Amino acid sequence: MVQWAVWKNALWIFLAVGLYGALHSALATPTAKAWARQKLGRFGDRWYRLGYNLLFTVLLFPLLAVPAALPDRVLYVVRPPWVYVTTALQIGGLLLAADATFRTDLWAFLGLKPEPEATAEALVIRGAYRWVRHPMYSGSLLFIWAMPVMTLNSALFYAALTLYIVLGAHWEERKLLAEYGEAYARYRQEVPMLIPRFWRKT
C-alpha cells in the first residue's frame, strides 16, 4: 500500500509539472509569439512577454497545490551544524540566479520593455554567465535540493522540476543557437550548461 501511494503521488506530481511545463514551453515558441502578433497586432507584440510571465505566475499556485494536497511524509530533516551548510548552498543558489537576472535586461525579461535584438554583441557572458550557461536554472536547482527539510512530495516535485529544467535547457539551447549563431556556439564550447565551472578555458 505504501509503495502504491508513492507511485500515485509521483504520477499526479509529474503529470502536473509536465502539463505546466508543456504549456510554458509551447507559449514560449516563436510560433506562439507570431500568432499573438497576428491576432493582436502591435499590442500582442509589445505585451506578450508580460502576459506570459503573469499567466505562469498565476498558474504556479495550482501547481504548488498538487503536492500540498497529497498524503505526505518527512524523509529527512537536516539539523545543526549541517543545516548551516545547506543554508549557505541555498544562499549561493539565490545569488547565482540573482546575478544572472541583473546581468541581462531585467525589464525586458519581465516584459516591461521590448526585448533587445539578438546579436553577437548582445550575448551576455559576464558575471554568472562566465561560469555556467544557464545560471538561473543552476541556482534554482541548488536552492531546491539544499532544502533542509525534505518530504516525499517535495522530493518528487523537485525531481519533476529538475527533469523539466534539464529538458528546457536543451530546448533553449537550440533557440539560442538559432538567434546568436556562431557566437553562441563558441560560448557553448567554453562554458558548461548547468554545473558551474569557476574558471574559463583559455
Q: What does the pLDDT read at residue 201?
A: 55
> Residue 202: pLDDT band by 50, 70, 90 thresholds?
very low
Kindly state the helix (H) or strand (E) to which residue 80 belongs, with its residue range.
none
Q: Please, which contacts does 51-55 make with residues 24 or more away whose CB atoms are closer than 8 Å?
A: 51/111, 52/27, 52/28, 52/111, 53/110, 53/111, 55/27
Q: Examine the pLDDT at 77 and tell me if it is beyond 60.
A: yes
> Residue 146: pLDDT band by 50, 70, 90 thresholds?
very high
What is the tens place of the pLDDT at every residue in 18-42? 999 999 999 988 889 888 888 888 8
> Residue 118: pLDDT band by 50, 70, 90 thresholds?
low
Q: What is the mean pLDDT of the chain?
A: 90
